[in-house]
């Protein structure tokens, strides 16, 4: 019953996006490979290069939580093919505000051909079965960056894992690092790209939202106290 309801909601979202062209983030095919992207010279001046994801510097964060400003270079890649550039400095991994760290893969549109859309984030089998990961409905393998559409959901392809490249800061040095993308299988935190870590339970790359969960829980608790105490009304 729950899965049926989720499918109906996903269908409505997909229909609305296609009908009214509501798609948040564009992508672009490139001729760059992982090795070439990791050689990019990261700028921290106001204007960024054409091969960056955004025209100006942006406030970013590394795995240690350090905030810094630099040009963003957000790409999704496979080892033996050219990469896709995400034309946004923002993280495209959509996590819920629940304490389950659930992940949702959305369609992005091709900036050079707006009739083409693709889901870059796929689900691992373990987290999909736990309903901790979902994607918009795919109709064929080509709808998924993983090239693996299973019963309407984009799933990771263990034979050809996806990698995410993003700007980071290590030992005061700005660089672009390409490591395993969200939901891909991992052994340790250093295997995962962006600010993702290797989950202890499922051994896949996810972005933990511990701090957000804590703040959310505190907010709910405080709200209940205020409602119950007439002196605070």
pLDDT value for 181: 98
pLDDT tens digit sequence for 205-230: 998 864 433 333 333 322 333 333 44
Residues 98-129, buried b or exposed e (16+ Cβ, 10 A)?
eeebbbbbbbbbeeeeeeebbbbbbbbbbbbe
The top-scoring range by mean pLDDT among 11-20, 118-127, 215-224 is: 118-127
Confidence of residue 103 (pLDDT cuts 50, 70, 90): confident
- Distance CA(63)–CA(53), nearest Å, equals 20
Could you count the other beta carbons within 10 Å of the beta carbon of residue 219? 10
Query: Which of 132, 133, 98, 101 shows the shortest CA–CA distance to 119?
Result: 133
Query: Percentage of residues in the chain with pLDDT exceeding 90?
Result: 71
């Amino acid at each position: 019953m729950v899965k049926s309801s989720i499918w109906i909601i996903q269908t409505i979202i997909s229909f609305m996006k296609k009908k009214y062209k509501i798609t948040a983030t564009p992508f672009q095919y490139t001729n760059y490979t992982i090795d070439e992207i990791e050689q990019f010279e990261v700028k921290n001046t106001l204007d960024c290069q054409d091969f960056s994801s955004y025209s100006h510097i942006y406030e970013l964060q590394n795995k240690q939580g350090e905030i810094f400003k630099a040009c963003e270079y957000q790409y999704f890649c496979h080892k033996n093919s050219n990469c896709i550039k995400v034309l946004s400095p923002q993280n495209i991994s959509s996590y819920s505000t629940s304490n389950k760290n659930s992940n949702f893969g959305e369609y992005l549109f091709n900036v050079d051909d707006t009739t083409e859309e693709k889901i870059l984030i796929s689900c691992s089998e373990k987290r999909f079965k736990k309903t901790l990961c979902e994607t918009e409905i795919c109709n064929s393998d080509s709808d998924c960056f993983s090239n693996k559409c299973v019963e309407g959901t984009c799933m990771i392809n263990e034979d050809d894992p996806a990698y995410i490249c993003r700007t980071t800061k290590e030992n005061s040095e700005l660089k672009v690092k390409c490591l395993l993308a969200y939901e891909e299988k991992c052994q340790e935190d250093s295997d995962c790209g962006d600010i993702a870590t290797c989950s202890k339970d499922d051994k896949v790359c996810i972005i933990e939202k511990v701090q957000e969960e804590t703040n959310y829980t505190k907010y709910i608790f405080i709200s209940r106290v205020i409602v119950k105490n007439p002196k605070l009304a």
